[in-house]
Amino acid sequence: MPDKIVLVRFEDVVSSISRSLKRELARVFSLPVEEGTVLPLPNAYDANRHQYLSLPFLESLLSLKQGKEFILGITEADLYAPGLNFIFGEAALMAGVAVISLARLYSSFYGLPEDEDLFKERVLKEAVHELGHLFGLKHCPNPHCVMHFSNSINDTDVKAASFCEVCKRKLRLNS
């Protein structure tokens, strides 16, 4: 299990994002959280879809791996994976790296006025969710658990930023 969590911004993300996330993630996982280097956007843009393939982001993050830390990448890029219209994030379980996309966490993406607190809450949920996968957790049927799968931003808003009792127990067993 990891000795720390490293937050890595891709170059399109402003630094204030990882600053607030750092504190929250340290609290949720009881681990030190550090900021890593800032990475350039990988060459993964699909001009037809106006989206980025997620795999090269995970590969870039993997290239930073040094020990048993977990690395969480953050990008503004709208990510997709083969067979899916979009993804909020993706975790490469065996590699210990994951990435989240901020693109669909803004209210303005849905034509609504921006809400800073709501946005931060969504970022935290997606970050905890992908890190939960790295800790070996699968999707949870409880819609209020952070490990519930988000098909849409509505699912993200319904779930909490924390683990249900069942996932909490699994998390303790796994770490």
Which C-beta is closer to Zn ion: that of 63 or that of 174?
Answer: 174
Q: Are 100 and 89 in contact (CB under 8 A)?
A: yes
Count of residues touching Zn ion (by CB under 5 A): 6
Q: Which stretch binds Zn ion (CB under 5 A): 36-44, 62-70, 99-107, 132-140?
A: 132-140
Member of 145, 156, 161, 170 binding Zn ion (CB under 5 A): 145
Query: Does 102 engage in binding with Zn ion (CB under 5 A)?
Result: no
Q: Which stretch binds Zn ion (CB under 5 A): 13-21, 111-119, 151-159, 163-171?
A: 163-171
Q: Please name the helix (run of DSSP H) or strand (run of DSSP E) that holds residue 19, with its range, or none.
A: helix 15-29
Q: Which stretch binds Zn ion (CB under 5 A): 8-16, 20-28, 35-43, 166-174?
A: 166-174
Instruction: State the Cα–Cα distance between residues 90 and 67, nearest whole angstrom.
Output: 20
Tell me which residue of 141, 72, 145, 132 sits closest to 102, measured CA to CA. 72
Is 130 an annotated catalytic residue?
yes
Instruction: State the Cα–Cα distance between residues 122 and 100, nearest whole angstrom.
Output: 11
Q: In what order do the strands lie in the sheet with 5-9?
A: 33-35, 5-9, 70-75, 97-101, 89-92
Residues annotated catalytic, as ranges: 130
Can you give the binding site for Zn ion, defined by CB under 5 A?
140, 142, 145, 147, 164, 167
